[in-house]
Amino acid sequence: MDVFSDSYNLDVYVTGFLWILKLTAAGTVGALVIGTLLAAMRVSPVPVLRAFGTAWVNIFRNTPLTLIIFFCYFGLYSTLGVTLSDDLELNNYWLGVVGLSVYTAAFVCEAIRSGINTVPAGQAEAARAIGMTFRQTLTMIVLPQAGRAVVAPLGSILIALCKNATIVGTIGLMESSNAMKDLINSNGDKVFTIFFIFAGTFAIVLIPTGYGFGWLANRLAVKR
Amino acid sequence: MSTDAVLYDHPGPRARARNRILTVVFGVVLLGLLYWIYRRFDEKGQWAGSLWKPFTQSSTWTDYILPGLQGTLQAAAIAMVLSLAFGILFAVGRLSDHWWLRIPAGIVVEFFRAVPLLLMMFFIFFGIPFVTEKPMSPLWAVVIALTLYNGSVLAEAFRAGVRSVPRGQSEAAYAIGMRKGQVMGQILIPQAARAMLPVIVSQLVVLVKDTALGYIISYSELLQLGVNNVAANFGNVIQAAMVAAVIYIAVNSTLTAVAGWLSKRTRRSGKAPRAPRPAGALVGTAEP
């Protein structure tokens, strides 16, 4: 434990996890917003919207996140000159958020769409029978029921997003995995302590979160 | 419920007109976006033939892209076999009647599922050599980390699958005198694997994509050779990334298509148990 009694090392550890927290927070908002819009597009009556949603999902779900984040930095920023902030570190952070959001949105979209599939056809048919429009059917009848069915898969997607946030380290952000690498390289005799502190932090936060989502999913499930 | 044509009525004249307007509006926005990208590329000279030309030369493919793809597929293939074995082993462990097997298996699975793959990879690649005093090969760092993570996720998938098999199946097997191991290996696991096939395959797609993390620890895979090294030689990072993305998408789509074909074949027998779906909730998803 004495590795972390050094104030510099402790600072590396805390900063690393703060970045993960910030990446997860902004990435979650981005992924949920884009993902829900994509899901709505994929079930809409307009063919162009459906095609756009399908293309997005097929492209981003099958491309490695490492490549997407690599592209955000070396493609968007270095080559095309897209700058999201004047501060170099914040710029990397926002590029990472963009990468995480567009990637995770594809998974959110698919989770919501399979949630829509759990809603019995009779619900939508009844809504249409009383004269509701597509938007009313979707927002008042189908999505509220689908939302309760997707708590568990969305939970595991968001937990995965938190773990994937470490990949933003590829473009030089000093997040937790880079922080661990640094500490290991300067304290070669305490490799296991360092690993178990870093891995343990993730485990202590994410395992209960996973069970929490499971409990919530059971509570909210529509009993049929 | 099939999503098409249930959420909305067959469009009448007004709805058709509205859909047409939406189509045009969204089409214009999309074209505008594409034009903006085109202009942006143009401004930075990204359409220059010299940046795309390397991909028409066979040496680019034989020196960079194909060896990279081979590295990716090699790591993915080894990790797939190992993580399927790991998954079955630990699923059976977690379902064991003995607490001294059940609890350690549970701890291992929960722990490796919660630790980010990159953290694991860094520990194996940079940390373990301090202990063993021998350098770690990048291939094995990638393979071991992928196996521990994806194997744990697969263990949970198999466990959910075994639970979805109707009780009558194992009761019948016990009734004809099968032992615990036989019931698990010959009755439950095969049916569980069939029921969870979609989840298993999407996890294998995740595994293929995650080999790209090997780039960070300098394992020679597609992102390292096909994007990083090509871009270093020809200065065409955008073009190289696009070509690599297309290759990844092709590999993963093939994997998904094979899985679709497989599940259609198994469904034809009409006996596959349904994936568990208690009370309208979705269970078992791949973890990206």
Per-residue pLDDT at A222: 77
* Position with higher pLDDT, B4 vs B143: B143
Is residue B55 very low, low, confident or very high in pLDDT (cuts 50, 70, 90)? confident
Is residue B169 very low, low, confident or very high in pLDDT (cuts 50, 70, 90)? very high
pLDDT digits 0-9 by tens, B202-236:
899 999 999 999 999 989 999 999 898 988 888 88
CATH number of A2-220: 1.10.3720.10
**Rounded distance, CA B75 to CA B72, Å?**
5
pLDDT over threshold 60, residue B4: no
All residues of chain A having their beta carbon less than 8 Å from the beta carbon of residue B134 are none
What mean pLDDT, rounded, does chain A reach? 90
Q: Which of residues 82-101 of A touch B (CB under 8 A)?
A: none
Determine the average pLDDT of the residues in B91-96: 93
pLDDT over threshold 70, residue B65: yes
pLDDT digits 0-9 by tens, A64-94:
999 999 999 988 888 888 888 888 889 999 9
* Position with higher pLDDT, A103 vs B195: A103
pTM listed for this prediction: 0.89
Determine the average pLDDT of the residues in A170-175: 88
Q: What is the token pair recorded at B249?
A: 């998408």
Q: Which of A31-35, A99-103, B77-81, B252-256 has the lowest average pLDDT?
A: B252-256
**Rounded distance, CA A20 to CA B47, Å?**
37
pLDDT over threshold 60, residue A213: yes
**Rounded distance, CA A187 to CA A5, Å?**
13
The CA-atom distances, in angstroms, between A215 and each of A208, A209, B94, B276, B281 are: 10, 10, 20, 17, 12
**Does A176 sit within 8 Å of B119, measured CB to CB?**
yes
Q: What is the token pair recorded at B20?
A: 């047409």
Quickly tell me which residue has 């019995």 as its tokens.
A120
Determine the average pLDDT of the residues in B27-55: 87
Give A130's DSSP letter.
Answer: T
Which of B101, B61, B96, B70 lies closest to B243 in space, CA to CA?
A: B61
pLDDT over threshold 80, residue B125: yes
Per-residue pLDDT at B282: 45
pLDDT over threshold 70, residue B3: no
Per-residue pLDDT at A121: 85
The residue type at B138 = P
Per-residue pLDDT at B137: 92
Per-residue pLDDT at B278: 42
Q: Which of residues 195-214 of A touch B (CB under 8 A)?
A: 195, 198-199, 202-203, 206-207, 210
Residue B95: in which H helix or E strand, if any? none
Per-residue pLDDT at B28: 94
What mean pLDDT, rounded, does chain B reach? 87
The nearest CA of chain B is from the CA of A87 a distance in Å of: 23
pLDDT over threshold 90, residue A223: no
pLDDT over threshold 90, residue B279: no
pLDDT over threshold 80, residue B176: yes
pLDDT over threshold 50, residue A10: yes
Domain ranges, ordered by start, for chain A: 2-220
Is residue A59 very low, low, confident or very high in pLDDT (cuts 50, 70, 90)? very high
The verdict on B253 touching A (C-beta cutoff 8 Å) is: yes
Is residue B283 very low, low, confident or very high in pLDDT (cuts 50, 70, 90)? very low
Per-residue pLDDT at B261: 87
**Rounded distance, CA A137 to CA A205, Å?**
38
**Rounded distance, CA A9 to CA A172, Å?**
18
Per-residue pLDDT at B46: 82
Per-residue pLDDT at A32: 94
Judge whether B106 and B119 are in contact, CB under 8 Å.
no
Q: Which of residues 39-78 of B touch A (CB under 8 A)?
A: 40-41, 44, 46
Per-residue pLDDT at B124: 94
Determine the average pLDDT of the residues in B247-258: 92
pLDDT over threshold 70, residue A177: yes
Q: Which of B38, B47, B109, B122 to mutate to test the interface with A (most CBs of A within 10 A)?
A: B122
**Rounded distance, CA A6 to CA A114, Å?**
49
The CA-atom distances, in angstroms, between A68 and each of A53, A105, A168, B277 are: 18, 13, 10, 33
The residue type at A145 = Q
Per-residue pLDDT at A99: 95
Q: Which residue of A has its CA nearest to B27?
A: A48
**Does A64 sit within 8 Å of B130, measured CB to CB?**
no
Q: Which of residues 58-77 of A touch B (CB under 8 A)?
A: 58-59, 61-67, 70-71, 74-75
Which of B118, B117, B136 lies closest to B126 in space, CA to CA?
A: B136
pLDDT over threshold 70, residue A35: yes
